[in-house]
Amino acid sequence: MTPPPLPLTLERIASPVGEVLLMSDDAGRVRVLDFEDYAERMARLLRRHYGPGGWSVREAVAPSVGRRALEAYFAGDLAAIDSLETATAGTAFQRQVWSALRTIPAGATTTYGALAARMDRPKAVRATGLANGANPIGIIVPCHRVVGADGSLTGYGGGLERKAWLLRHEGARTG
């Protein structure tokens, strides 16, 4: 028997880097965060994580805790998103990477190699990068804080301009 679809609540949030799409489950845990112009990628990630038809979407009727935290983050309270509860599918390794990303404080950056080493998986640099790229919860799970080994900006699912803005907003130095 097929389990019922996971009900998700969608909120559209105006931000300095474009409209953000935030989806939370009934327990208020953030499941997905992406940008409006990347809605197709978000749908692909949902299919990958929950299977075709494995979720349903309804529009929010009231602002969620996640929405209020994101609005505070964009207004300058960088710590507002730190305590948000998240939930993801994905492999055990992906979830380990996503958990490690949440330990990178605002204003700091790291590299794929350093992140892999932090997880006691120093040879898993490429796998760490792939897991970083598959992160379904941008900004809150701060994959934008990972830079190239030389400090340069490297790929970001939301585009390098957004990554640069987020890092400047957080006061991070990049090479």
Instruction: Name the residues annotated as catalytic.
Output: 143
Using CA atoms, how far residue 2 sits from 6, 27, 54, in Å, is 12, 21, 9
Phi, psi of 52 (to 5 degrees): -60, 125
For residues 170 and 162, is the Cβ–Cβ distance under 8 A? Answer: no
Q: Which two tokens stand for residue 83?
A: 């305590």
Residue 123 CB neighbour total at 10 angstroms:
10
Q: At 56, which amino acid appears?
A: S
Residues 68, 107: Cα–Cα separation, whole Å:
21
123 CB-side CA count, 13 A: 0
3-state secondary structure at position 39: helix
For residues 43 and 37, is the Cβ–Cβ distance under 8 A? Answer: no
